[in-house]
Amino acid sequence: MVISYIKKIRFLVNNSFYGPIIFFIFYFIFSFFLSIYFFEDIISSFFAFTFIFLALLIISEALFLILYNAINKSKYVYKKKIPFDKLIVEPHENLPFVYKKNFKSPPKELLNFPLHPKKFYSAELITNKLGFFNGEEGNREIVLPKPQELIRINCIGASTTQNYLSHENRNYSYPLELERILKKRYNKKLEVNNFGTGGYTSLDLLKQLKLSLINTEPDFLILYHAYNDIRSYLTPNFKPDYSHSRKNLSEIYNKFYISSKIPEIPIRFFNYLINKWLPSNNRYGLLESISKGEVNLDQDITKGLKTYESNLQKIINECKNKKVKIILSTFCFNFHEKVKELNIHKKYNEIVKEENKIIKDLTKKNNILLVDANLTIPKDSSNFVDTIHFTPKGMNLLANEISKSIDI
């Protein structure tokens, strides 16, 4: 009963309509009426209002930091605003969002990962004309038609594919590491392209492949993907097109604009709330802003898993029809000590195991290559920065496992 009540309060406070109203009533109206109740003259009431207002802010800040750390097992990281004209994503009619073409990424910043706080930096990159980060600096183009004798290997997936880390003045991603390994192994003209888009589901990857990626004439396609569909499985009123749990960025794009006009206030609980109401940083608030519905950990996931399997099968079919060699990899979930007591992570860990079974079954059914990365990559902090994203060492391990299945 108490937990249910807390969840309802949390939902209302985080809601972009009710949250600001509650905030205004609690911090301004409550402070005002309390001040005029105890003091009749204007000056005394004004000072009382100011004192009560500031006291509420200080108490709220302290409680927020304690509760956030207790619930999430990590400290809250203040999310800096990104000016609207510097926002790297934009709406798309067929996909939830896409990255802008030939566009510079946000400035390099020290990242506060749960397992490696303030060790790795984000990379300063520029997207290519297709809107992907590809190659060392991000802006390496996909030459079409494909040059003769070039072996083209395309990697598709979500953030675990797209993700770049910068460490000791060198950029890392698993496709970059795969290209480095293969170029050392083979004396051939080859390229490994990064077509990852953080936050994409299997349905988004299927659409993206059909819309453009299959036309880049790949010889190999590497699919490393799971996890991101799970939120849709766990959202009630399931629909195979995920419309029950996902919005198009166009529906809330104006919120990013409005948020960019609100001055920075160096109070972390307010920073948390403003990013719930009006997201301003695509690195931290994008996925939550395009999600809808409340996750139910007791939700039946059968339909969700069938949809995931269907989407992967369609990706396989698309590749086979174009005579592209497709390689599937199982997905790594690092169920580390900091999250082992959190029910949401317990559930995600269980479901990723089910997704991995589907991946294995599909490779057998379609007689295609499987990389069992989940089995071969050790789940320890030297390889992961959180539950799913890799350190540079982990990226190299994944790339090395995949490279064993590429015979050119």
Give the DSSP letter string of 195-216.
EE-TT--HHHHHHHHHHTGGGG
**CA dist 332 to 225, 227, 353, 383, Å?**
10, 9, 9, 11
Query: What was the pLDDT predicted at 312?
Result: 98
If the chain, 408 residues long, is cut into consecutive pieces of 10 residues, what is the mean pLDDT of each piece?
Answer: 64 85 94 90 93 96 91 81 91 97 93 92 97 97 96 98 96 98 96 98 98 97 98 98 97 90 90 86 81 94 98 98 98 95 96 98 98 97 97 98 96
Q: What is the pLDDT of residue 168?
A: 94
CA distance linking residue 107 with residue 124, whole number of Å: 6
Closest Cα partner for 157 from 105, 95, 209, 93?
Answer: 209
- Residue 13 burial (10 A CB sphere; 0-12, 13-18, 19+): middle
Full-model pTM:
0.89
Integer-rounded Cα radius of gyration of the chain? 23
What SS3 state is found at 229? coil
* Amino acid 366: pLDDT: 98
Count Cβ atoms below 10 Å from residue 119 Cβ, excluding itself.
Answer: 14
CATH number of 92-247+293-403: 3.40.50.1110
Residue 14 has a pLDDT of 83
